[in-house]
Amino acid sequence: MTRGAAETTVRQLAPEERLRRLELMVTRRLDGMLQGQYLGLLPGPGSEFAGSREYRPGEDEVRWMDWAVTARTNVPHVREVDADRELTTWVLVDGSASMDFGTAEVEKRELAVAAVAAVGFLTAGAGNRLGAHVLRRDGIRRVPARTGRVHLQALLHELLGARREEAGADGADLATAIEGLQRAAIHRGLAVVVSDFLDDAPDGEFAWERPLKRLAARHQVLAVEVTDPRELELPDVGLITFVDPETGRRREVSTGNRQLRERYAAAALEQRAAVAAALRRIGVSHLPLRTDRDWVADIVHHVLNQRRRAAAAPARPRPTGGVR
C-alpha cells in the first residue's frame, strides 16, 4: 500500500476509530516518558496568595511585586503564593476554515485535536479539570470545565467529528475567542490556545495580541502554533488553483516560476517570524507543531525543556498541577 493510500484510509476512518488510534499514540508514547509530580506543561508559581516578603534582587521578578506593602513600608516586597491543589485547564481550539488544510500525514485540524489530547493527558490528575472553547464559523462552542477521562474523550470525539465549515462571511475571530476564554476562566490556571495564527497585522500588531496579553496576566498560557509545510513553501508542480478557505476566492498560480516560489517562502517565513516575535513580546510559552513532523516528540521536547528551566531557576513556590 502506498503512503498516499494509507493516509487516505486513515483520514476516512470514523471519529471513534481515529480517537482510539489517537489515545493509543498519546498514552503509549507520553506515558512513561514524562514522569513527575506536578511538573506540567509550563513552569511557574501557584496562584493562592500566601503573604509577602522582601524583594531579592536577581531572584525575584518585578511582576510579582506587592506594591501595596511596598508603599506602606518603603521597602520592596513581593507576593508569595501557594500552589493550587487542583488545576483548571482551558483550551481554545481554532476550528476556522484555514485549519481544514493538510498535505502531510495529518491535517491541521487533526493535529490540533492531537495537541488537545496531549494537554488533557499531561494535566490529568485527581480533581484537575479541563474545559474548552472551540472557534467555529457559526460562533464559539463552549464546553464547561469538568474532570475525568470520559469528559476528555467526549471533547476529543466532538473535535474529530466536527463538520467542515463552508467559506463565507466570518463570525467570531481569534481575538474575540480569546476574550471569551478570559471571561470564562475565572480562577487562575493554565490556558492553551491552539491555532495557526494566520491573521494579518496591518499596523504591525496582530488583533489577538492584546487579548492574549490580558489572558497571560492572570493565567499561565501556552500557544500551540499549527502549520503545514505547504504554507511555508511551494513545490514546483506547474499550474495549480489556490482556494482561500476563509473566503472561497480562487486564483491560478504557476508554481514553475522560481522567483514566485522564493517570494512565497520569504513572505511565509516573515509571517511565522512575526507570530513568534509577538508571542515572545506577550511572554507566553510557544510550542510550534507541524503536520509533517513527529508532534509527540516535539511536545516531549517542549515539556523536558520546561522542566530544565524550572530546575535551573531559583527556588520558588511549588508549580501548579501538571504531569503525574
Burial of 67 (0-12, 13-18, 19+ CB in 10 A): exposed
**pLDDT score, position 192:** 95
Domain 3-43+84-312 part of CATH 3.40.50.410? yes
| Single-letter amino acid, residue 154 | A
Cβ 178 vs Cβ 282: under 8 Å: no
- Give the number of other Cβ atoms within 10 Å of residue 221's Cβ: 25
Can you tell me the distance from the alpha carbon of 207 to that of 119, in angstroms, rounded to the nearest whole number?
Answer: 25
Helix (H, G, I), strand (E, B) or coil at 33: coil
pLDDT value at position 252? 85
pLDDT in tens, the chain (324 residues): 334 444 433 454 455 666 677 777 776 666 655 544 444 555 555 555 556 788 888 767 777 788 888 888 888 888 776 555 578 899 999 988 888 887 877 888 888 988 998 888 888 776 788 999 998 877 888 999 998 888 888 888 878 766 555 444 455 789 999 999 999 988 888 999 999 998 877 777 899 999 999 999 989 999 999 999 988 888 888 888 877 766 778 888 888 888 988 999 999 999 999 999 999 999 999 999 999 888 888 888 888 887 777 667 665 444 444 443
- Please state the domain extents for the chain: 3-43+84-312, 48-82
pLDDT at 46: 53
pLDDT value of position 73: 87
The pTM (predicted TM-score) of the whole model is 0.74
Tell me the C-alpha to C-alpha distance, in Å, between residue 10 and each of 22, 226, 256: 11, 20, 31
